[in-house]
Chains A and B, each alone.
Chain A
């Protein structure tokens, strides 16, 4: 009900304004007579990475409602078109084609998983439609072309941050890496972790692989245990990370497990439980952050959804807010102008930090490291770019 009322008042004000001035929403200068700006979103609302898609969607929806309650952008409401890619390869391309050709969206937001963003990016690039990925960290995503942007940091940064955390904070000299061979994200993180870890004088004693969707990791973990590493880097997704932690502890692998933002999900700790104690991962945002931007976002989010968001929700929120900001600065929904405005973004104040879009269309911003202590995510440190 609150949402309705919130939307109704500005709408009524707008209608009254039109009556007074006699303006016509479909007069020349506005786009083709439509009173809304269509924004497309594709995400994994179902399937193996469902919490990623759902959480991102909640963040985007919250941003859309806040923008519309505040009068919209350029006097128009944002209309969100959401499509589910079922966490499946191939589906992302299909639904993004639909968003662009059939729904006629002005810009596209999505995905979390880099593999699926990489599928959709060439389609957006070809159509000249700007795409902002909230949380795909693989560098290849924005390399697709000049229409592809992101509001999160990239794998080299994240892999380097975790390698430095392992060598400096945890004083580890040996590490094992357990990679998901099905995921571009996981492969990218593993590569940059290994580079930085060996560059700081450490040794990678074991490299094992699994395929996303696996449930049994005993074979790989037994081999890792035999190599005796001080830390194990597991740059995969939460679906597997909890089970990997459980099986690692049962087999007697003792060193802490380290991960990336793929661990960020409300189902990680329920599955892994006590086995995750002392494990750490890098991510975009901590709910313990006391800054007003974070606390304001948290308060509204909790009121709407009655839960504490993981990092995907604020990233979705920031992606939508950045897009609205760019449309405002461009003064139009013309794809080329919005693209140029996005590329010129400087020091945009997001919930997940201050975002500056660099020449490669990546966000330059800081990462936080969280450690699991007593079944809770504990903020450890912020690492600046």
Chain B
């Protein structure tokens, strides 16, 4: 029983990071109906931004400390937000009126560009991610060990999910985002600037990816330029599983994938881990093609 509970905790911690990445996928999809395959690489750049910023930040705020971690977090999110806007501006905007496939292929191109420029600029070898937070003693309750990083990941993911929901549902910009998502032409006629809204969406999505990248690097402190590939793919699956375009769906999908993978690795064999996670995806999509929480879309004629 203890072992099972421990596995659940492990799965929840893994799942909440996937959830955070999945949020970025789902948000861009919700607005643009397009899957940003470079998202996993922005996640990687977030971790590297943290890696290079941490020594600079440490000169005026001591690291590891909570304040220092927050500064690194904020700066890396800002760097990636700017980068997200830049990627959209240079790679996706010129293709917006073209077939969706063109943008999709471009996204894969951007993803490869970021991965291999990363290898060129940062070096291919894995690097130790600096300690941002003081090492708190690992909490041991009833023979279970909960590590401080796992709690932080869980808390930050929850917090960002609520912040995101607030932005989308309660602010002017959020209303504009929903309007563009619904019908870009009509929104433009009503005085919404779709370019600004789309840029903002990319900034927000990329900032989330940066947050996820740093949380991932704090939990697994070995970073390399290809670190975004697998988590990016899994998070994409999580977003589809939960219903792509739906924020709570992405979070739910992430947790389901994380827990399934952990339980399969722990009780069966890690060899079947990905196979079973993807089989679940297929079954859910067969039963409910729009994903767990996705709304049914009516194809406009």
Interface residues of A (CB under 8 A from B): 45-48, 50-51, 54, 87, 181, 208-211, 213-216, 218-220, 222-223, 225-226, 239, 242-243, 246, 250-252, 267, 270-271
Contacts and interface: CB of A to CB of B under 8 A. Distances in A.
B97 to A, nearest CB: 37
A220 B226 contact: no
B261 interface: yes
Contact of A48 (B10, B13, B126, B127): B126
Nearest to A250: B147
Contacts of A214: 270
Interface in B247-277: 261-267, 269-271
A270 B266 contact: no
B5 to A, nearest CB: 10
Interface stretch (B105-113, B117-125, B176-184): B117-125
The 8 A-B pairs with the shortest beta carbon distances in the complex, nearest first, are A46-B124, A219-B265, A218-B10, A270-B128, A219-B266, A50-B124, A215-B220, A50-B125
B222 A239 contact: yes
30 contacts: A45-B124, A46-B119, A47-B226, A48-B126, A50-B124, A181-B270, A181-B271, A209-B269, A209-B271, A215-B216, A216-B220, A216-B262, A218-B14, A219-B7, A219-B262, A219-B270, A222-B6, A222-B7, A222-B10, A223-B266, A242-B222, A243-B221, A243-B222, A251-B6, A252-B140, A267-B125, A267-B222, A270-B128, A271-B126, A271-B222
B171 interface: no
Contacts of B10: 216, 218-219, 222
Interface majority SS on B: helix, strand, loop or mixed? helix
* A54, A209, A216: residue with the most chain B Cβ atoms closer than 10 Å: A216
Nearest to B13: A218
A306 to B, nearest CB: 16
Contacts of A226: 2-3
B259 to A, nearest CB: 10
Interface string B196-222: 000000000000000000001000111
A219 B119 CA distance: 30
Contacts of A267: 125-128, 222
A73 B140 CA distance: 64
Contacts of A251: 6, 145
Contacts of A225: 3
Nearest to B5: A222
Contacts of A216: 10, 14, 220, 262
B267 to A, nearest CB: 8
Contacts of B126: 48, 50, 239, 267, 271
A153 to B, nearest CB: 25
B139 to A, nearest CB: 11
A252 B145 contact: yes
B221 A246 contact: yes
Contacts of A220: 265-266, 270
Nearest to A52: B125
Nearest to A242: B222
A251 B262 CA distance: 14
Contacts of B70: none
Contacts, number: 89
B138 interface: yes
Interface of B: 2-3, 6-7, 10-11, 13-14, 119, 123-128, 138, 140, 145, 147, 216, 220-222, 224, 226-227, 230, 261-267, 269-271
A116 B120 CA distance: 23
B238 to A, nearest CB: 15
Nearest to A214: B270
A171 to B, nearest CB: 26
Nearest to B258: A216
A46 B122 CA distance: 11
B33 to A, nearest CB: 31
A142 B222 CA distance: 33
Contacts of B222: 215, 239, 242-243, 267, 271
A243 B220 contact: yes
B186 to A, nearest CB: 45
Residue of B14, B138, B226, B265 most packed against chain A (CB within 10 A): B265
A51 B125 contact: yes
A211 to B, nearest CB: 7
Question: Of B14, B123, B222, which is in contact with the most chain A CB atoms at under 10 Å from its CB?
Answer: B222
Nearest to A253: B145
Nearest to B146: A250
A219 B262 CA distance: 5
Nearest to B131: A273
Contacts of A270: 128
A210 B262 CA distance: 12
Given A216-B10, A223-B3, 11 more contacts: A46-B119, A50-B124, A181-B271, A209-B271, A219-B10, A223-B267, A239-B222, A242-B222, A250-B145, A250-B147, A271-B221
A250 B10 CA distance: 12
B233 to A, nearest CB: 12
Nearest to B125: A50
Contacts of B270: 181, 208-211, 214, 219-220
A373 to B, nearest CB: 19
Contacts of B216: 215
B135 to A, nearest CB: 9
A252 B140 CA distance: 9
Nearest to B224: A48
Contacts of B266: 219-220, 222-223
A132 B227 CA distance: 32
B263 to A, nearest CB: 7
Contacts of A223: 3, 266-267
Given A48-B224, A209-B271, A251-B145, A219 B127 contact: no
B276 to A, nearest CB: 13
Contacts of A239: 126, 222
Contacts of B119: 46-47
A307 to B, nearest CB: 13
Contacts of A208: 270
Residue from A46, A47, A211, A267 whose CB has the most chain B CB atoms within 10 Å:
A46
